[in-house]
Amino acid sequence: MTANDVTAAIIPAPVRVERGAGAADLRRARVVAPGLEDLPALAAELLRPAGVAFPAAGSAAPGTPIELRADAAAGPPSSANPERYTLTVTGDGVTVRAPGRAGLLHGLRTLRQLAGAAQAAGRPGEIPALTVTDEPRYGWRGLSLDVARHFFGPADLRAVVDLLGHYKFNRLGLHLTDDQGWRLEIPSRPELVARSSGTAVGGDPGGYLSVTDYAELQEYAAARGVVVVPEIDLPGHVNAATHAYGELNPGGLPTEAYEGIEVGFSRLHLGLPATEPFLRDVLGDVARMTRGPWVHFGGDEVHTMPPGEYREFVRLCQEIVGAAGKTPAAWQEAAGAGHGDTDAAATAMAATGGPGGPGTTAGTTPGAAAAGSGGAAGAAAHARSGGAAAAQAAAAGSGGTVTAQAAPGGSTTTAAAPRSAGVLEQDPAASPVRAGTVLHYWDSRAGSAAFVRAAEAGGRFVMAPAERTYLDMKYTPDHPLGLVWAGCVELRDSYEWDPAAVVGGLPAEAIDGVSACVWTETLRTRDELFSMLLPRLAAVAECAWTPQEHKDWESFRARVATEAVTWRRDGSAFHPTPQVDW
């Protein structure tokens, strides 16, 4: 690799790079960071593995300076982006300037990649002279990680935070609760972890984060520029809760523990007296325990609830989170779309024997279909994985007409029933979304009208279209890990898309950013997890950061090959997709 090539190592690609003459010698370096006490230690932690040594203070040869400076004039001309930075490398040393801590960290991350590339080229510490002037396209650059289906503990989560920081992500969503397990201690509701944290998919070991674990993780993440966004999935995906507290079920008895991977069968009941106090306790505690501004209340795949009750849940959860001083976040269904659209399963259940689902011991769901269980959850899963039968059953149950609609991107998802007329006409004008609520878009089978209405109501959007950013999808049909309901997602699929072009009619200003998601039904170890994240997470990073017109697949695939050296160095598993010449 030549000195020039070293600059071709930066992912996500920066807004602007200008080459200078010469190089800085960082084989021995020191950090100068006036007024930023914690940064020298973090800078050393980031740069040391990349071949930069830091002699002890007071040593005779103090090393080349790496200066970190607060500077409002840094970044692209006249930019007001709070994350902007300028990195300058000359023969005399390195300077990172930024108006805030976020930008200084970004500059250090860019330097870390340059140092890693120099190391990979066999010239550790030799950083070519250049100026990088940079800022992110979007302010929300996230990964949502499912720790409920399989548990990943503090050490794994710190490794994920390190990886996120490396690619300039700034949000870690934690999917903390689902049917299979409850993973966060809730002081006001001790039975949640006492009774429901020990299980996981397939009988694998469970676990949970204590109040202290959670606080320490947030501190670790915050120091590295990453805000933790906790997700408590409500009012569906709640079997762990209904297993811990029988009063949440109509019969008053706990449901059985669940270790399968179906979705959509469990739910809360707004009409039960225990439900609202439960929501207030749980969301209140989570809000108090959370440093960041957001609490995510789920809202996805509630296949067994009447739409009116669902909307009330959405309103109530937003109200509780808001009253607790946080900004609500939710999956796209909270906009009032998707619930009906992908709701073939709900009606399918009415046709095929009603709700209940695996492990339900507490009787049945009032308001929906008749008693029984027989394969209800299977129908729910199939509605997502493209079961035309579910759509047919839905039509049969509602008296509607089936119009099978192909999923975008030629994925394996082939059919979803249209929402029934009853759902459509229920309240077409009013969006249940409050101004400021952050909606996570994931399922491209939903129409766009409800999202446009949500944006008009002040809703914000984070784009996580499954066929691009669901990193639990298999790379190829024969890949040993992952699911396929949104199709296979190869590296190039994760790279070549524009977040602003996903939902027709959604104003670009309503989009706050991009998120990758990794669900862990099939992932049990850190290596399995990382092999699904890498290299695709790097592609999503560039979609979230780099201006669309600067993105280039050929350039990316060359740069990502250089990154593999860093992954091997750091012991991070990755999938060597044939789309890259590793």
Q: CB of residue 296 vs ligand TNX: minimum separation in angstroms?
A: 10
**475-496 per-residue burial string, b: 16 or more CB within 10 A, e: under 16:** beeebebbbbbbbbbbbbbbbe
If one asks whether residue 519 binds ligand TNX (CB under 6 A), the answer comes out as yes
Tokens 């906009």 belong to residue? 335
Q: Please, which residue, 127 or 529, has the CB nearer to ligand TNX?
A: 529
Is 259 considered catalytic here?
no
Q: Is 300 in the site for ligand TNX (CB under 6 A)?
A: yes
Q: What is the SS3 assignment for 331-395?
A: EHHHHCCCCCCCCHHHHHHHHHCCCCCCCCCCCCCCCCCCCCCCCHHHHHHHHHHCCHHHHHHHH
Q: Give the residue with the Cβ less far from ligand TNX, 474 or 557.
A: 474
151 is a contact residue toward ligand TNX (CB under 6 A):
no
Quote the least distance from Cβ 154 to ligand TNX, whole Å.
22
Closest CA to 433 of 504, 529, 338: 338
Which one among 135, 185, 262, 301 touches ligand TNX, defined by CB under 6 A?
301
Contact 308, 426 (CB under 8 A): yes
User: In the bound complex, what is the minimum distance in angstroms from residue 133's beta carbon to ligand TNX?
Assistant: 37
Give the per-residue contact string, 474-513, with ligand TNX (x = CB under 6 A; - = no): ---------x------------------------------
DSSP code, position 256: P
Q: Which is nearer to ligand TNX, 140 or 331 (CB)?
A: 331
* Residue of 83, 185, 231, 301 marked active site: 301
Length of the chain: 582
What spatial distance separates the first Cα and last Cα of the chain, rounded to whole Å?
14
Site for ligand TNX in 422-451 (CB under 6 A): 442
Q: Is the CB of residue 31 less than 8 Å from the CB of residue 54?
A: yes
* Of 180, 169, 164, 174, residue with least CA distance to 214: 174
**Residue closer to ligand TNX, measured from CB, 301 or 343:** 301
Q: Report the residue number, 126 or 521, with the smaller CB distance to ligand TNX.
A: 521
343 binds ligand TNX (CB under 6 A): no
Report how many residues bind ligand TNX under the rule CB under 6 A: 10
64 in Cβ contact with 29 (< 8 Å): yes
> Angle between the 388-398 and 344-352 helix axes, to the nearest 10 degrees?
70
**Residue 434 DSSP label:** P
DSSP string, 34-72: TT-TTHHHHHHHHHGGGT-B-PPTT-SS--EEEEEEE-T
Residue of 259, 472, 512, 563 that binds ligand TNX (CB under 6 A): 472
φ and ψ of 346, to 5 deg: -60, -45
Q: Determine the Cα–Cα distance for residues 191 and 368; give it in Å rounded to an integer.
A: 28
Among residues 138, 214, 331, 475, which is the contact residue for ligand TNX, using CB under 6 A?
331
- For residue 20, what is the enclosing H or E element? strand 16-25
From the CB of 178, what's the least distance to ligand TNX, in Å? 7
Quick one: DSSP state of residue 291? -
State yes or no: residue 470 binds ligand TNX (CB under 6 A).
Answer: yes
CA angle 580–485–258, rounded 5-degree value: 120
Comparing CB distances to ligand TNX, the nearer of 47 and 229 is 229
Nearer to ligand TNX, 97 or 237 (CB): 237
- Residue 360 Cβ, how far from ligand TNX at the closest point, in Å? 18
Strands (E), 135-253: 140-146, 171-175, 177-178, 181-182, 227-234
Shortest CB 300 distance to ligand TNX, Å: 3
Select 111 or 184, whichever has its Cβ closest to ligand TNX. Answer: 184
d(CA 103, CA 139): 12
Question: What does 479-522 look like in DSSP terms, one character per residue?
Answer: -SSSB-TT----HHHHHS--GGGSSTT--GGGEEEEEEEE--SS
Look at residues 499, 504, 505, 514 and name the one whose alpha carbon lies nearest to residue 548.
Answer: 499
Assigned token pair, 258? 């669940």
250-289: which residues touch ligand TNX (CB under 6 A)?
263
Q: Closest separation between CB of residue 399 and ligand TNX, Å? A: 28
Q: Edge-to-edge strand order for the sheet containing 29-32?
A: 16-25, 126-134, 85-90, 93-98, 64-70, 29-32
Between residues 444 and 566, which has the closer beta carbon with respect to ligand TNX? 444
Residue with Cβ nearer ligand TNX (157 or 381): 381
Catalytically active residues, by annotation: 301
- Residues of this chain that interact with ligand TNX (CB under 6 A) are 263, 300-301, 331, 442, 470, 472, 483, 519, 521
